[in-house]
Amino acid sequence: MQIETIATRPIDGQKPGTSGLRKRVSVFMEPHFLENYVQAVWQGIGGAKGATLVLGGDGRYFNDRAAQVVLRMAAAEGVTKVIVGQNAILSTPAASHLIRSRKATGGIILSASHNPGGPEGDFGLKYNGSNGGPAPESVTEKIFAATKTISEYRILSAHDVDLSAIGTHRMGEMEVEVVDPVTDYAMLMESLFDFDAIAKMFAGGFTMVFDAMHAVTGPYAKAIFEDRLGAAPGSVLNAVPLPDFGGGHPDPNPIWAKDLMDRMMGPHAPDFGAASDGDGDRNMILGRGIYVTPSDSLAALAANATLAPAYKGGLKGLARSMPTSGAVDRVAEKLGLDCYETPTGWKFFGNLLDAGRITICGEESAGTSSDHVREKDGLWAVLLWLNILAEKKQPVAELMADHWKSYGRNYYTRHDYEEVETAIADAMVDEIRGRLDDLPGSAAGPLTVEAADEFAYHDPVDGSVAEQQGLRFQLSGGGRVVIRLSGTGTVGATVRVYLERLETDPAKLDADPQEALAPIIEAAEALTGLKARTGRTGPDVIT
* Buried-state track 269-304, b at ≥16 Cβ within 10 A, e below 16: bbbbbbbbbbbbbbbbbbbbebbbbbbbbbbbbbbb
Range of the domain at 23: 2-180
Tens-level pLDDT at each residue, the chain (543 residues): 799 999 999 999 999 987 899 999 999 999 999 999 999 999 999 999 999 999 999 999 999 999 999 999 999 999 999 999 999 999 999 999 999 999 999 999 999 999 999 999 999 999 999 999 999 889 999 999 999 999 999 999 999 999 999 999 999 999 999 999 999 999 999 999 999 999 999 999 999 999 999 999 999 999 999 999 999 999 999 999 999 999 999 999 998 999 999 999 999 999 999 999 999 999 999 999 999 999 999 999 999 999 999 999 999 999 999 999 999 999 999 999 999 999 998 989 999 999 999 999 999 999 999 999 999 999 999 999 999 999 999 999 999 999 999 999 999 999 999 888 999 999 999 999 999 999 999 999 999 999 999 999 999 999 999 999 999 999 999 999 999 998 655 678 899 999 999 999 999 999 999 999 999 999 999 999 999 898 888 888 888
Q: At residue 93, what are phi and psi to the nearest 5 degrees?
A: -65, -35
Annotated active-site residue 151? The verdict is no
How far apart are the C-alpha atoms of 443 and 447, rounded to whole Å? 6
- End residue of a domain, out of 139, 163, 180: 180
The CATH number assigned to the domain holding 529 equals: 3.30.310.50
Q: For position 348, what pLDDT does the model report?
A: 92
Any idea how long the chain is? Answer: 543
Q: Cα dist. 9→39, 151, 538 in Å?
A: 12, 5, 42
- 207 lies in the same domain as 171: no
- End residue of a domain, out of 379, 407, 435: 407
- 268 lies in the same domain as 387: yes
Helices (H) and strands (E) in the chain, counts: 18, 27
Helix (H, G, I), strand (E, B) or coil at 205: coil
- 226 lies in the same domain as 350: yes
Q: Which is catalytic among the residues 19, 96, 113, 321? A: 113
- 517 lies in the same domain as 474: yes
Any residues with CB less than 8 A from the CB of 349 and at least 6 apart, and which?
133, 319, 342, 358, 361, 369, 374
- 501 lies in the same domain as 371: no
Task: Provide the number of structural domains found in the chain.
Answer: 3
pTM of the model as a whole: 0.94
- End residue of a domain, out of 407, 435, 464: 407
Q: For position 221, what pLDDT does the model report?
A: 98
Q: For position 419, what pLDDT does the model report?
A: 87
CB 70 within 8 A of CB 53: no
How far apart are the C-alpha atoms of 333 and 408, rounded to whole Å? 13
Query: Nearest-CA neighbor of 296 among 304, 288, 123?
Result: 304
Cα 334–Cα 414–Cα 345 angle in degrees, nearest 5: 70
- 379 lies in the same domain as 333: yes
Say if strands 81-89 and 52-57 run parallel, antiparallel, or are unpaired: parallel
Rg (CA), the chain: 23
- 78 lies in the same domain as 169: yes
The CATH number assigned to the domain holding 261 equals: 3.40.120.10
- 158 lies in the same domain as 205: no
- 374 lies in the same domain as 483: no
- 414 lies in the same domain as 329: no
Q: For position 488, what pLDDT does the model report?
A: 58
What is the per-residue DSSP string for 229-249? T-PPTT-EES-S--TTGGGS-
How far apart are the C-alpha atoms of 524 and 526, rounded to whole Å? 5
- 354 lies in the same domain as 453: no
CB 198 within 8 A of CB 229: yes
- 100 lies in the same domain as 171: yes
